[in-house]
Amino acid sequence: MEKFDLSKMKQAMEVGDADAWSGLHSDDFEQIEMDDVTPPSNPKTHTKNGLYEIIKRASSNGVKFTVEKMVDGGDQIAYSVTCHIPNGRKIVSNVISDVKDGKINHELAVGARDPEK
């Protein structure tokens, strides 16, 4: 079983490298997102390509990411990610990911965001 490199994922996120991030995720990757605007009864679903574009666009618009509280459980990992938006807003998500063959193939992200300014 190929081991997932959590430190590479942290580095890719924190420098805004969408290509490196993409290489750590399987082609059939799916993320289920729940927060104040996407409740559990109607969560948002992201594909690998969709989230790649979000990370790429956010990074090019000055959004910075901080990854903390990383836990490596082998076939599951967990971490917290904070998006620091240039206007001072923050979005914080706690993420639990399933790992298969050394790549993330499924995530559940539960988050909270500062109100719009």
In tens, the pLDDT along 24-49 reads 999 999 999 999 889 999 999 999 99
Q: What is the pLDDT of residue 1?
A: 60
In a domain, 1, yes or no: no
Q: What is the pLDDT of residue 117?
A: 73
Give percent of the chain above pLDDT 70.
Answer: 99
What CATH number does the domain containing 23 carry? 3.10.450.50
The distance of Cα 115 from the centroid of its chain, to the nearest Å, equals: 20
- Give the domain range for residue 70: 6-113
d(CA 104, CA 113): 24
In a domain, 108, yes or no: yes
The number of distinct structural domains making up the chain is 1
In a domain, 94, yes or no: yes
In tens, the pLDDT along 67-106 reads 999 999 989 999 999 999 999 999 999 999 999 999 999 9
